[in-house]
């Protein structure tokens, strides 16, 4: 996969369209790296003002009032809002990018002649600050010039910048959903099993860290343990019997067990 | 849940029945804590000798040659071998315990009048040494005296010793299978999705550690992110379309999405 590195960053003028988690974290990192956040737009004028004041920026709640002076316009909104807002973008020749893992770059093609994507791969929580240097950022643009601008913009805030096409970016997003969103839900289910038997989630916490730490050094298929990979059908049957009154847990147990057995056959 | 702490440990004489991962790690920790490993039994006499030599112990491959001098006999073998070996145990009045998360204590009831369980909750790999102090150990015994002996034996090697009945111990094992064995398999599936799109697993590794670290401090239900908990059906549909040719991944994606939505409704 193509890696981009050692780029000199210049100060750029950025207009931020959005005021959610991604917009907030990204704007702060871009400003810290010396760029100018020219303007913040949000549908909600209070949110726009709030974020703008933290960025020494101006704000607006109207696309018609967007500044035409920026080098790049970053549309950091939820996926379902992208088509509508792209349709209202007023500048045909300004670089417009979205920040979605799952939306094709082409969703912007009627908005401007210069389009792209800037997708930071992380689980953003508003309350928690984030080390952007370790956050992979996937870029895409419809021209070499657009890509160059994106590389210059984020080259200073992340050490893991790469060019990915829309298909690869979607794969990356789905891989993160499996490993992290679904992984976290397994923790929730685990806690529920413990709670129903008067046991505390604290008992499992060290094992969770150990499991995630292991695959930092070795491959996950080599780290697999448990009854399924051992082919221990006595234990599997006892577990399914234990789970007999919870159809969801039983279905997940069966599906995982089959998947582990077929992967390690 | 009852906690056991501040127990003075005495030197005990231990006979170890088994030579696998649990037997190896447990024997080393017990010896380090000052106990005497009197004898090692293994069906395979070479394995028995090998482990015994590392423990300054003697070995045998025959139950008829077991020493009658030990305070405790630890049956650390796979679940399916427990009934057969318990049936051969020669001492009716010696304390016999197994180390299984899933097998009831009662599986030993025809072997001896003094029975129990000593279940260390960890993912044991032969190659990797383990910090037993952080390993929860669940105990069970059919008498207060038996429980006292178990507490004295492991009180010095782990700071997280607790008494659990067979039902709770099984729940703990199943909770660990969900959070850790199934969690690790999600990493394997994630790697596979990346590989099919010419992307490296390294891209996801920081996110995996971040996800496991988050739930050390907060509750997993509060740490949930992703399209399912946001109710972002546009992204969910795009992901399912992406996975349309892989029935297993699609089934898991659907099951997790439904489970997350129903849990967070």
Which among A198, A215, A249 has the least Cβ separation from residue B1?
A198
pLDDT value at residue A174? 97
A124, A25 Cβ separation under 8 angstroms? yes
* Beta pairing partners, B37: B14
Mean pLDDT value of segment A51-78: 96
* DSSP reduced 3-state for A186: helix
Of B63, B54, B68, the closest CA to residue B84 belongs to B63
| pLDDT in the model for residue A133 | 83
The residue whose two tokens read 């913040």 is A40
Neighbours of A264 (CB within 10 A): 14
Nearest to A172 among B80, B188, B194 (CB): B194
Residues 6+ apart with CB under 8 A from A218: none
Taking a C-beta distance cutoff of 8 angstroms, is the pair A84, A111 a contact?
no
Higher pLDDT, residue A80 or B114: B114
Contact A134, A149 (CB under 8 A): no
Rounded to whole angstroms, how far apart are CA atoms B75 and A228?
A: 22
* A179:B170 CB<8 A: no
What is the rounded distance in angstroms from the CA atom of residue B257 to the CA atom of residue B254? Answer: 5
Q: Which residues of A51-77 are buried (b: 16+ CB within 10 A; e: fewer)?
A: bbeebebbbbeeeeebeeebbbbbbbb
**Angle at CA of residue B261, ends B257 and B262, nearest 5°:** 115
Structure tokens given for A94: 């300004």
- Nearest to A19, CA basis, from A83, A77, A81: A77
Segment A125-134 shows an average pLDDT of: 67
Q: Which residues of B touch A104 (CB under 8 A)?
A: none
Nearest CA in chain B to A216: B205
Q: Which residues pair with B115 in a beta bridge?
A: B96
B232 touches chain A (CB under 8 A): yes
Phi then psi for residue A129, to 5 deg, are -75, 160
Which residues are CB-neighbours of A128 under 8 A, at least 6 positions away? none
Residues in chain B, overall count? 265
CA distance B213 to B227: 21
- Inter-chain touch B242–A174, beta carbons under 8 Å: yes
Give rounded-to-5 percent helix, strand, coil for chain A. Answer: 50, 15, 35
> Phi-psi category of B136—alpha, beta or left, where left has phi over 0 and alpha has psi -120 to 50?
beta
| pLDDT given at position A141 | 98
Query: Treating both helix axes as pointing N-terminal to C-terminal, what angle do B247-264 and A247-264 enclose, rounded to 10 degrees?
Result: 150
Check B232 against A171: CB less than 8 A apart. Answer: no
Q: Tokens in use for B78?
A: 């796979």
Q: Quick one: average pLDDT of A153-161?
A: 92
Separation of CA A154 from chain center:
15
Cα-based distances in Å from A168 to A104, B73, B196: 10, 56, 9
3-state helix/strand/coil string of B164-229: CCHHHHHHHHHHHHHHHHHHHHHHHHHHHHHHCCCCCHHHCHHHHHHHHHHHHHCCHHHCCCCHHH
Q: Which residues of B touch A248 (CB under 8 A)?
A: 255, 258-259, 262
Contact yes or no for B109/B86 (Cβ under 8 A): no
**Interacting residues of B235 by C-beta distance below 8 A, sequence separation 6+:** A79, A102, B227
- Looking only at the bridges linking them, the beta strands covering A161-163 and A95-98 are unpaired
Nearest beta carbon to residue A185 from set B199, B239, B260: B260
Using CB atoms, pick whichever of A80, A194, A262 lies closest to residue B172: A194
Predicted confidence at residue B129, as pLDDT, reads: 62
Inspect the interface and report whether the beta carbons of B212 and A214 lie closer than 8 Å: no
State the CB neighbour count (10 A cutoff) for residue A127. Answer: 6
Per-residue pLDDT tens listing for chain B (265 residues): 444 444 454 789 999 999 998 899 999 999 999 999 999 999 999 999 999 999 999 999 999 999 999 999 999 999 989 999 999 999 999 999 999 999 999 999 999 999 999 999 976 555 556 678 888 999 999 999 999 999 999 998 998 999 999 999 999 999 999 999 999 999 999 999 999 999 999 999 989 999 999 999 999 999 999 999 989 999 999 999 999 999 999 999 999 999 999 999 8
pLDDT at B21: 85
Backbone angles phi, psi at B155, to 5 degrees: -60, -25
* Residue to substitute from B186, B224, B230, B254, interface A, most A β-carbons within 10 A: B186
Residues of B in contact with A120 (CB under 8 A): none
Q: Is the CB of B234 less than 8 angstroms away from the CB of A176?
A: no
CB A173 within 8 A of CB A79: no
Q: Which residues of B touch A140 (CB under 8 A)?
A: none
Among A100, A127, A186, most B C-beta atoms within 10 A, so best to mutate, is A186
Q: Which of residues 119-178 of A touch B (CB under 8 A)?
A: 121-125, 134-136, 160, 164, 167-168, 170-178
> First vs last Cα of chain A: how many Å apart?
30
Taking CB atoms and an 8 Å limit, are A199 and B170 in contact across chains? Answer: no
Handedness of CA B5, B134, B215, A133 (dihedral sign): positive
User: Alpha-carbon distance B17 to B89, whole Å?
Assistant: 10
pTM of structure:
0.87
The pLDDT score that the predictor gives to residue A2 is 42
State the best of A133, A160, A170, A212 to mutate against chain B, taking most chain B CBs within 10 Å.
A212
B81 and chain A: CB distance < 8 Å anywhere? no
Phi and psi (nearest 5°) for A234?
-60, -50
pLDDT at A1: 42
- Is A74 in contact with A118 (CB distance < 8 Å)? yes
ipTM of the complex: 0.87
Comparing A170 with B128, the larger pLDDT belongs to: A170
Angle made by CA atoms A1, A100, A5, in degrees to the nearest 5? 35
pLDDT in tens, A174-202: 999 999 999 999 999 999 999 999 999 99
């Amino acid at each position: 996969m193509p890696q981009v590195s050692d780029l000199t960053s210049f100060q750029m003028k950025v207009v931020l369209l959005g005021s959610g988690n991604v917009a907030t974290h990204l704007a702060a990192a871009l400003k810290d790296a010396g760029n100018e956040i020219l303007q913040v737009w949000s549908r909600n004028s209070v949110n726009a003002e709030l974020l703008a004041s933290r960025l020494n920026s101006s704000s607006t709640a109207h696309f018609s009032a967007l500044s035409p002076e920026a080098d790049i316009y970053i549309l950091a909104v939820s996926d379902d809002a992208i088509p509508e807002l792209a349709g209202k973008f007023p500048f045909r020749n300004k670089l417009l990018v979205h920040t979605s893992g799952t939306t094709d770059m082409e969703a912007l093609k009627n908005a401007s002649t210069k389009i792209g994507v800037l997708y930071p791969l992380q689980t953003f929580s508003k309350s928690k600050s984030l080390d952007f240097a370790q956050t992979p950022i996937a870029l895409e643009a419809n021209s070499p010039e657009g890509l160059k601008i994106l590389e210059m913009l984020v080259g200073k805030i992340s050490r893991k910048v790469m060019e990915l096409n829309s298909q690869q970016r979607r794969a990356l997003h789905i891989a993160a959903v499996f490993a992290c969103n679904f992984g976290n839900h397994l923790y929730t289910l685990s806690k529920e099993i413990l709670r129903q038997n008067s046991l505390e989630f604290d008992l499992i916490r060290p094992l969770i860290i150990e499991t995630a730490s292991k695959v930092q050094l070795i491959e996950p298929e080599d780290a697999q343990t448990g009854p399924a990979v051992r082919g221990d059908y006595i234990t599997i049957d006892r577990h399914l019997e234990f789970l007999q009154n919870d159809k969801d847990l039983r279905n997940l147990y069966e599906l995982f067990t089959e998947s582990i057995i077929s992967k390690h056959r």
